[in-house]
Structures are given as structure tokens and as C-alpha cells.
């Protein structure tokens, strides 16, 4: 394990366990960093200091992260003690009568949750620019750039050192995009690896799942072990892992067959910095004993993305309609932003038969991608086709939802890799292997066959040990610590 994991959650939990630090002291420091850094980032919202202090006083669970400050995404992760906006004025100050299964498992690790992190409205988009928060969430490495989305607040908060790990969720890259944008490690597990109840059986036809953004691979592994497993009434479950995430990272993987793609999956060029990151990582993997060959994963990527767009539009329309029904009124000006309005309008043109056809397309794509892994163990690409975009480029005030996603210059051109593995259900991760000459993070994307989470995270840990990244800090954090 890299010696530079000293700033991770595992380290801070060890400090608490030995008495070198107390949970209250760690919370004091996290809140001080929120006060100093969050005005520049707009990443942390809905602070609940009193709730956190009461949890400490009552006695924290004796889990692997006992006493470590933590933040949950302001989307999903329903919790009685943590009201949410879910990125939308329509959902502002939503309170829950129950705790979600994922939050129960997070809490059982002993973390001290003290607030939420920003998300775009409904979790749609590769940026976090929701009007309910009064402005965009910015990237600690360069505040003119986006921190990504939809877990953009979590990415910014972890990269800025406010917390060492945070909760996220991923329906089309929403953990991996901000992790790549913010120089972090992010892992999207195999479909149904984590619980989704009790509010629903699945998100976005099974494409969405929870996850975590961290500095170190070991933090993510430990938290995923704590949260893995189906919950009561789950419609389906992930295949059992041969070993835990934490055990998997203790040893390097066997020599793997790595298919390297330094373009998009359809062969279009990507930014030179992203291509450089792919080529550099491919050479490193080869030096570590892996069999590295170029190639494209053959599947209907364009058809998948159009189907993804229809499914997500219908999901957006559903939460809007359900919320309006509960409030007993029609949609009013200012309730939702343009992209959500556009998704709702687009969904109205989709028949039930067309929705089911889109789901079937996703399933067919999953079979195509399963066939890809009969010829390799890992698909390596960039996480994004470009370094982090400038704030405002993918703003949510426009209403042409379909064009926003799949049109010229749209999200799919910017993020052509991540959603593929939400559709297929296969595990995928982003590893911070490169920075541009002007200091912007560029993530490397790794994906494995369905159920092969252990193989994938073992490879991520091997890369972390071979090319440690945890010592890098944004200038704003360095200045704060000085």
C-alpha cells in the first residue's frame, strides 16, 4: 500500500482508535475547512453539526471508520436526520421518515456524517450547477472548471481536503466523472452490489448505483465491503465475490489481458492529454506484467446512449410528477431548471412500448459488452474525452434534453466511456494517473467483466502502488495548510 495514504479515512480512524485524535476534534477541523474553502467551491450544503455532535455523544458504532467526518450526496441516501434538496427547488428541504439501507450501512462504519454535498437536479449531467444552491460547484484544482457531476460536490469536498472520503452515486458516470475531474479514485461496482431500498428496487432501469469518492483505494475497498449485499426485497442481486474488496487489494492481480482504447469506443479522437494518459498507463501496465493490446470494444455504443437518454428522461419525469402529485399542484416557474423541463417534455413523447424497447436495448448492449470480455479481462480508456470542462459549458438552463445528451458537442461526446458500464452493469473505476501541464487531473478508466469487482480493484491498487497519487494537493488546500 502506498505510503502516501496518510491523509485517507483509514489513517484518521486509526488516529481515533489510538486516542491521538477525537471524533469531536476531527469534526472541528472538517467544519473549519468548510468555512474556509466551501465559499470558493459551493460543494457542501445542509450542514447538520448538532446531529453530528449528538451522534458522537451517544456513542459511535465501532466500525472501520469510527470518528471520521463524512458527507453524503444531496441525492438519494435518504436519512431521517439529513433533509435534502436533491439538487432541485421543487424538492427543497425534503424530509424523510426513514433511513435508506445504504445510509444505515454507511452509518454502521462509525463515520460522523455532518452534511450533504451538491448534485445537479435529478442527478443528470457531468457538471454540478443546480440553481437551488445559488451557483455552480467548482473544481479545487481550478475554480474556473467544473468538479464534475453528478457527485460533483463530493468530488470537490474530498479533493479540497474537507473530508477524506464521501458518498456518491453513479447512473452514467456520476462517481467516476467527478473523481476523474478532481484527481480522486472512484469505483462503480457491479449492478446490484449495493442496496437500493427501501424507496425503490432499482434506479434508471438498473443503471444507477451508490458509490464513494476517495483519495485511496483502501478507503473505497473498506467502505464498499461495509455496504455490499442486497437488502430486503431487492429485485435481483449481484453475483457473490470470491473475496472481499479489502482482501483483493492485498495482493497484485494475476497477469491480465488488457484491451487499450486511446480513442472513444467508436474510434473518434480524444484530447491529446487524455490520450497521453492512456498511453502512459498502458506502458505501466505492460511493465507490471500484463498483456496489453490495442482494440475497440465492439458494441452499439450510439444506440445504447440514445436508449440511456430515453430511460433517464422517463426517470426525471417520474420524480417530477410524483413530487407534484404529493404537493397537490402543477409545475410552477422556478420549480425545476431547463434540463429537467426538457426531460419531462421529451418523456411525454415516449410511449410505453418505446420505453420498454429502450430497456431491451440496454440489455442487448449488456450482452454485447459481455462478449467483449471473452477476449480480454480489462478495458482501458480515458475516463473523459477531455480534461474537466469550464464552468457553464454544460449548464442546466437549456431545455433541449436529447440534444444536450447525444447532440453535437453534447455530454456523450465529452463523456463517451462511463455510461457504457452503467448500461452493461459491469464494474468500472477511474484512477487519477495523470495531470495536464496546467495542473488539471485526467482520470484513467478501467472496466472488467460482470461480477469481477475483486479483479478490478486489485488492479487499481497495483496502479496506486506503482504510481502513487495521494500526495498531490490543489493549491487552495496547500495554502490552507500553510
User: What are the catalytic residues?
Assistant: 73, 150, 174
* Closest among 263, 359, 247 to 307, alpha carbons compared: 359
Contact 68, 26 (CB under 8 A): yes
Rounded CA gap, 422 and 411, in Å? 15
Asked if 166 and 158 count as a contact pair (C-beta separation under 8 A), the reply is yes
CA–CA separation, 77 and 415 (whole Å): 25
List C-alpha distances in Å: 82 to 98, 157, 315: 11, 18, 23
Phi-psi region for residue 204, left (φ > 0), alpha (ψ -120 to 50) or beta? left
Determine contact, residues 115/71, Cβ cutoff 8 Å: yes
The size of the chain, in residues, is 482
Amino acid at each position: 500500500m502506498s505510503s502516501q495514504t496518510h491523509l485517507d479515512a483509514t489513517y484518521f480512524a486509526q488516529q481515533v482508535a489510538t486516542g491521538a485524535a477525537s471524533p469531536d476534534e476531527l469534526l472541528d477541523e472538517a467544519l473549519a475547512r468548510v468555512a474556509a474553502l466551501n465559499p470558493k467551491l459551493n460543494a457542501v450544503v445542509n450542514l447538520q453539526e448538532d446531529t453530528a455532535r449528538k451522534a458522537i455523544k451517544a456513542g459511535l458504532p465501532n466500525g472501520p471508520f469510527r470518528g471520521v467526518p463524512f458527507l453524503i450526496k444531496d441525492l438519494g441516501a435518504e436519512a431521517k436526520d439529513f433533509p435534502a434538496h436533491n439538487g432541485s427547488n421543487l424538492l427543497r428541504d425534503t424530509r424523510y421518515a426513514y433511513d435508506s439501507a445504504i445510509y444505515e450501512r454507511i452509518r454502521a462504519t462509525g463515520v460522523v456524517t455532518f452534511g450533504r454535498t451538491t448534485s445537479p437536479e435529478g442527478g443528470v449531467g457531468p457538471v454540478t450547477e443546480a440553481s437551488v444552491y445559488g451557483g455552480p460547484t467548482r473544481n479545487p484544482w481550478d475554480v474556473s472548471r467544473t468538479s464534475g457531476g453528478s457527485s460533483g460536490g463530493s468530488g470537490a469536498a474530498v479533493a479540497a481536503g474537507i473530508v477524506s472520503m464521501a458518498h456518491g452515486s453513479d447512473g452514467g458516470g456520476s462517481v467516476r466523472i467527478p473523481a476523474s475531474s478532481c484527481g480522486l479514485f472512484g469505483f462503480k461496482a457491479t449492478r446490484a452490489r449495493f442496496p437500493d431500498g427501501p424507496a425503490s428496487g432499482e434506479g434508471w432501469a438498473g443503471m444507477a448505483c451508490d458509490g464513494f469518492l476517495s483519495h485511496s483505494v483502501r478507503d473505497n475497498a473498506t467502505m464498499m465491503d461495509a455496504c455490499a449485499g442486497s437488502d430486503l426485497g431487492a429485485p435481483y442481486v449481484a453475483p457473490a465475490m470470491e473475496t472481499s474488496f479489502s482482501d483483493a487489494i492485498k495482493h497484485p492481480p494475476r497477469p491480465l489481458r488488457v484491451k487499450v482504447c486511446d480513442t472513444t469506443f467508436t474510434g473518434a479522437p480524444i484530447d491529446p492529454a487524455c490520450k497521453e494518459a492512456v498511453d502512459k498507463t498502458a506502458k505501466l501496465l505492460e511493465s507490471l506484467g500484463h498483456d496489453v493490446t490495442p482494440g475497440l470494444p465492439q458494441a452499439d455504443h450510439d444506440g445504447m446512449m440514445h436508449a440511456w437518454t430515453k430511460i433517464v428522461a422517463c426517470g426525471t419525469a417520474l420524480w417530477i410528477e410524483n413530487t407534484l402529485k404529493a404537493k397537490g399542484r402543477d409545475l410552477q416557474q422556478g420549480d425545476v431548471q431547463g434540463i429537467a423541463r426538457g426531460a419531462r417534455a421529451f418523456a411525454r413523447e415516449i410511449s410505453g412500448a418505446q420505453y420498454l424497447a429502450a430497456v431491451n436495448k440496454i440489455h442487448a448492449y449488456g450482452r454485447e459488452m459481455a462478449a467483449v470480455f471473452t477476449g480480454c479481462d480489462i478495458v482501458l480508456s480515458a475516463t473523459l474525452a477531455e480534461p474537466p470542462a469550464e464552468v457553464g459549458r454544460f449548464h442546466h438552463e437549456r431545455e433541449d434534453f436529447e440534444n444536450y445528451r447525444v447532440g453535437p458537442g453534447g455530454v456523450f461526446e465529452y463523456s463517451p466511456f462511463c455510461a457504457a458500464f452503467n448500461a452493461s452493469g459491469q464494474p468500472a473505476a477511474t484512477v487519477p494517473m495523470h495531470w495536464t501541464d496546467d495542473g488539471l487531473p485526467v482520470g484513467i478508466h478501467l472496466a472488467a467483466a460482470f461480477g469481477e469487482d475483486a479483479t478490478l480493484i486489485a488492479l487499481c491498487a497495483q496502479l496506486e502502488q506503482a504510481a502513487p497519487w495521494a500526495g498531490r494537493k490543489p493549491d487552495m488546500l496547500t495554502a490552507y495548510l500553510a
